[in-house]
């Protein structure tokens, strides 16, 4: 027998001996696996063994870590969170005079003894977060994730994989803790959805929009006459409301648009059409960003500008118009949950809505745009951004309702703009007292 044959037989025998000795243990590492794959498999196995080794101090079931300063399973964790702060409302033990044995199979029989054991094992009720604290904690986590994605865009794929891996891990819940399972699964689904919605480029675009909005306020300061309101320059006439308040809103809206690269990229003809035929209606939404429904005032937030009284509309118009305007603004605020970014994005979506102006007469035909496809594609950018932002914060089902209601409220604003224009200016001679910008957006000629 040759020397090579002997060596080969020894290797075979040694392999058989090792396989027999390690029977029941994990298989030999595949030489084709990379170092990272082997490390990941090892970490996963270690984590699983570590989790399975933990025993709940309350019911002796499989535990998942420390909860409220004690090692517990998810079921006892949820039970303590729901009942620890209402101990006085739990009936006393009627089975064993406060000496019930709490195990996996009996933990559902006596709430009093189970809660008493929770406190006995050191679980702390003062560690339970209120709904507001939990919401604040989640918001901080999401904000940190957003910042991490902005600073390290390449890590989004890794975060997504880790979230997906977390979602498919099995949980041991009882039937009576179905609400706990639903809550945890909803949180996992929410985290995964949020990781897949707004990208780092989307957040950069949002920051650009918010900065443009802030700059539009800074660049359009009030005239020296405004600080004299209302003592010396009260709003008594219809023209006063439009020359002061509406003129300011329209100026800042147009400046806001000019600061955005998507609007600046359009040719001058298309920019003129979009601003001239859409601005007046959109001043209603722009006014909602300044409106405080509780105090019935108009004031630009984070500025020291003067405060306009909403009831001036009654004196300048009438009680009916006052209620219509107030209801319109309150609807926008309620539907958007007072989220200023939603209304800012809505402004951009609607300003690029070619053909949604208040033109109805034969002498008011809206001109045709030179590059309608560019306008359409630009609008889709902001539609997509608005949808993803709402879905990330409120969920898909609520987003559908939000956008539908915003569309309905815009139609109401459009109708009020039409009635205001034709009722107050088209059929009267008040138009001659208006500023040039207001005449332009109201489609009032010089004749």
145 with 121, same domain: the answer is no
104: nearest Cα among 62, 69, 67, 143:
62
CATH number of the domain where residue 95 is located: 3.30.50.10
80 with 139, same domain: the answer is no
The label of the residue with tokens 């909602």 reads: 288
CB atoms within 10 A of CB 237: 13
Kindly report the backbone phi and psi dihedral angles of residue 121, in degrees, each rounded to the nearest multiple of 5, phi listed first. Answer: -85, 5
Q: How many domains, in total, are found in the chain?
A: 3
Whether 379 and 338 have beta carbons less than 8 Å apart is answered as no
407: nearest Cα among 259, 308, 285, 319:
285
Burial of 317 (0-12, 13-18, 19+ CB in 10 A): middle
pLDDT value for 35: 45
What angle, rounded to 10 degrees, do the helices at 200-219 and 131-151 form? Answer: 100
Last residue of a domain, one of 149, 164, 196: 196
190 with 214, same domain: the answer is no
**Is residue 25 situated within a structural domain?**
no
Last residue of a domain, one of 128, 150, 181: 128
Whether 371 and 389 have beta carbons less than 8 Å apart is answered as no
- Say whether 65 sits in a helix, a strand or coil: coil
207 with 264, same domain: the answer is yes
403 with 321, same domain: the answer is yes
Provide the 8-state DSSP code for 61.
S
222 with 331, same domain: the answer is yes
**Is residue 54 situated within a structural domain?**
yes
**Is residue 28 situated within a structural domain?**
no
Whether 149 and 199 have beta carbons less than 8 Å apart is answered as yes
User: What is the span of the domain harbouring residue 157?
Assistant: 129-196
309 with 355, same domain: the answer is yes
pLDDT value for 344: 95
Whether 433 and 247 have beta carbons less than 8 Å apart is answered as no
355 with 422, same domain: the answer is yes
Give the separation between CA 54 and CA 36, rounded to whole angstroms: 27
Last residue of a domain, one of 160, 179, 196: 196
**Is residue 22 situated within a structural domain?**
no
120 with 235, same domain: the answer is no
Provide the 8-state DSSP code for 92.
P
195: nearest Cα among 224, 225, 167, 229:
167
124 with 151, same domain: the answer is no
**Both tokens assigned to 115:** 């809660």
140 with 222, same domain: the answer is no
The tens-digit pLDDT sequence of the chain (447 residues) is: 555 555 665 565 566 555 555 544 444 444 444 444 444 555 545 444 444 568 899 998 888 788 888 889 989 998 988 888 875 667 788 777 888 889 998 888 888 889 889 888 888 888 888 777 777 777 777 776 666 665 555 544 444 444 334 333 333 334 344 444 444 444 444 444 444 578 888 999 999 999 999 999 999 877 655 556 766 667 778 778 888 888 889 999 999 999 999 999 999 999 999 998 889 889 999 999 999 989 999 988 888 888 888 888 888 888 888 899 999 999 999 999 999 999 999 999 999 988 666 555 555 677 888 999 999 999 999 999 999 999 988 888 999 999 999 999 999 998 888 877 776 665 456 667 788 888 888 777 644
285 with 240, same domain: the answer is yes
pTM of the shown model:
0.56
pLDDT value for 361: 56
């Amino acid at each position: 027998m040759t020397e090579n044959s002997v060596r080969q037989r020894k290797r075979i025998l040694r392999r058989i001996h090792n396989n027999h000795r390690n029977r029941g243990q994990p298989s030999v590492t595949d030489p084709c696996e990379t170092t990272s794959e082997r490390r990941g498999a090892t970490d996963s196995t270690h984590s699983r063994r570590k989790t399975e080794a933990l025993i709940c101090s309350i019911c002796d079931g499989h535990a998942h870590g420390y909860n409220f300063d004690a090692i517990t399973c998810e079921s006892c964790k949820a039970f303590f969170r729901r009942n620890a702060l209402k101990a006085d409302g739990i009936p006393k033990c009627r089975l064993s005079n406060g000496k019930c044995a709490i195990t996996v199979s009996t933990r559902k029989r006596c709430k009093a003894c189970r809660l008493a054991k929770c406190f006995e094992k050191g679980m702390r009720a003062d560690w339970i977060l209120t709904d507001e604290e939990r919401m604040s904690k989640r918001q901080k986590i999401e904000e940190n994730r957003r910042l991490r994605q902005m600073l390290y865009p390449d890590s989004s794929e890794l975060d997504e994989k880790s979230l997906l891996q977390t979602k498919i891990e099995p949980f041991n819940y009882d039937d009576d803790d179905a609400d706990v399972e639903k809550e945890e699964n909803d949180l996992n689904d929410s985290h995964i959805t949020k990781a897949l919605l707004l990208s780092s480029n989307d957040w950069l675009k949002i920051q650009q929009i918010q900065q443009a909005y802030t700059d539009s306020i800074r660049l359009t300061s009030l005239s020296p006459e405004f600080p004299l309101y209302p003592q010396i320059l009260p709003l008594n006439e219809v023209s006063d409301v439009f020359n002061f308040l509406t003129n300011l809103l329209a100026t800042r809206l147009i400046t806001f648009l000019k600061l955005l690269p998507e609007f600046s990229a359009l040719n001058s003809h298309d920019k003129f059409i979009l601003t001239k035929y859409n601005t007046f209606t959109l001043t209603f939404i722009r006014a909602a960003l300044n409106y405080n429904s509780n105090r019935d005032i108009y004031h630009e937030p984070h500025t020291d500008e003067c405060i306009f009284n909403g009831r001036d509309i009654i004196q300048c118009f009438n009680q009916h118009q006052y209620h219509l305007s107030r209801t319109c603004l309150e609807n926008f605020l309620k539907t958007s949950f007072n989220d200023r970014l939603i209304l800012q994005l809505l402004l951009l979506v609607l300003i690029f809505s070619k053909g949604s102006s208040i033109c109805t007469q034969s002498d008011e035909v809206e001109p045709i745009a030179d590059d309608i496809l560019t306008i359409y594609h630009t609008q889709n950018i902001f539609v997509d951004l608005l949808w993803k932002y709402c879905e990330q914060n409120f969920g898909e089902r609520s987003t559908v309702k939000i956008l539908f209601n915003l569309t309905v409220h815009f139609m109401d604003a459009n109708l009020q703009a039409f009635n205001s224009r034709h009722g107050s200016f088209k059929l009267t001679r008040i138009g001659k007292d208006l500023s040039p910008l207001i005449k332009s957006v109201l489609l009032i000629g010089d004749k």
